[in-house]
Amino acid sequence: MRIVVIGATSGIAEQCCRLWVQREACDLLLVARDGAKAGRIAEDLRVRSPASTVEVVTLDFLDAAAIGRLAAEAALKPIDIVLIAHGMLPEQTRVQADLGLCRDTIEINAVSPALFAEAFAHHLAQAGRGTLALIGSVAGDRGRKANYSYGACKGFVERYAEGLEHRLASSGVRVVLIKPGPTDTPMAASYKARGVKLASVEEVARISVRGIDAGRPMFYAPPRWALIMLIVRNLPRFVFNRLNI
């Protein structure tokens, strides 16, 4: 199984990698901005699975030309799975007060995943096989004052995945969108500090790997978020706008 992981230092992505190497020897390409951190994860995965090969590549996640080159080089060998996992979640009040941070948030959560998805979709389509998985969020389902800059990007990622799925429907390539709820990783540290109940990263990764195996076009992790977000999406404005969420 050959797997390319974009944003490989993400807590969710790292757990997915552990599950993948636990069940069989894999050929993993870990793509990250921080080579030292990704190197430590690669070393851990090699210890867990000596038969696996784990390579680390670093690049600027907004450099379209570098992303294009990375995808072309990675696709020289057949790819089974591409997981696009990176993201950032700054406090919404900071984003509102700082247009530079607003731009960075949109670039890393929306522009960058689209560039990686587009670059790899091209090569998977040519090969006529493989699964392109992206991590969205429940936050993309409805704009809320607590995180709408990040949430809007996740909504964008969902529409992008949907369009790619439509484009690639008869190509043999599957497109998968994972929508986690709040999960216990560094990204949700401030939620944890406020006492918000978080799903374990192990549970979210298990559901993600299963959904990728099945090629499910979209699913929530954990699944209870499907019902919660159905309700949130359908609340009338006069109720929704009074909620402090």
Ligand X SMILES: NC(=O)c1ccc[n+]([C@@H]2O[C@H](COP(=O)([O-])OP(=O)(O)OC[C@H]3O[C@@H](n4cnc5c(N)ncnc54)[C@H](OP(=O)(O)O)[C@@H]3O)[C@@H](O)[C@H]2O)c1
Give contact residues for ligand X (rule: CB under 6 A).
7, 9-12, 32-34, 37, 61, 85-88, 108, 135, 137, 180, 182-183, 185-188
Peptide bond before residue 180 is cis, with ω within 30 degrees of 0: no
Alpha helices in the chain (DSSP H): 11-23, 35-48, 64-74, 92-97, 99-106, 112-127, 148-167, 189-193, 201-214, 224-234, 237-240
Q: Which residue is nearest to ligand X (CB)?
A: 87
Q: Could you identify the residue written with the tokens 């560094």?
A: 186
Contact 46, 52 (CB under 8 A): yes
Q: How far is the CB of 111 from ligand X (least distance, A)?
A: 11
What secondary structure does DSSP assign to 28-39, as a single string? EEEEES-HHHHH
Q: How far is the CB of 195 from ligand X (least distance, A)?
A: 14
Contact 48, 73 (CB under 8 A): no
69 versus 169: smaller Cβ distance to ligand X: 69
Q: How far is the CB of 7 from ligand X (least distance, A)?
A: 4
128 versus 223: smaller Cβ distance to ligand X: 223
Contact 175, 132 (CB under 8 A): yes
11 versus 143: smaller Cβ distance to ligand X: 11
10 versus 49: smaller Cβ distance to ligand X: 10
Q: Is residue 170 exposed (0-12), middle (13-18) or buried (19+ Cβ within 10 Å)? A: exposed
138 versus 173: smaller Cβ distance to ligand X: 138
Q: How far is the CB of 105 from ligand X (least distance, A)?
A: 9
Q: How far is the CB of 201 from ligand X (least distance, A)?
A: 7
